[in-house]
Amino acid sequence: MNEHELLLKRINLLEYHQKLLVKLLNNPNLEFYKLIIEYGLTEQEIDKFYYLCNELSKKLDEQKAEGYVYFHPLFAKFSASLPAKMKIDDVIKACLLQKLYEPLFQEFEKYLK
């Protein structure tokens, strides 16, 4: 990657984080956005994160409808798919505080204890 491409990537990251910061000004309780900025995650990484959460939420709903009560395999998949920079405890707590994918993260929170 040449210097120009690297600079462009950094500018894009800064623009993404700036958008999140503006949202944080209006609502300082957006904990997950704070984590994104703190970990220096890109918009693409977060898009993958949201896609993963959507998929796992669907599977959780399906499994609950089938009578499942044990969701550790979904937790394990989530844990393995997180960007390496992210700490699972922080992510789960931040998403719950921000009310993102609440049913999913309420289940995952049980595995942190």
**CA 12 → CA 47, 51, 53, 83, distances in Å?**
15, 21, 24, 19
Give the per-residue pLDDT at 83: 87
Give the per-residue pLDDT at 59: 97
Give the per-residue pLDDT at 74: 96
List all residues 6 or more positions away from 21 whose beta carbon is below 8 Å from its beta carbon. 37
Q: Which helix (H) or strand (E) holds 23?
A: helix 3-26
- Provide the domain count of the chain: 1
What global pTM score does this model have? 0.91
Give the per-residue pLDDT at 17: 97
CATH of the domain at 61: 1.10.3750.10
* Averaged pLDDT for residues 81-89: 92
- Name the residue range of residue 93's domain: 3-112
Of 113 and 111, the one with more pLDDT: 111
Share of the chain above pLDDT 90, in %: 92
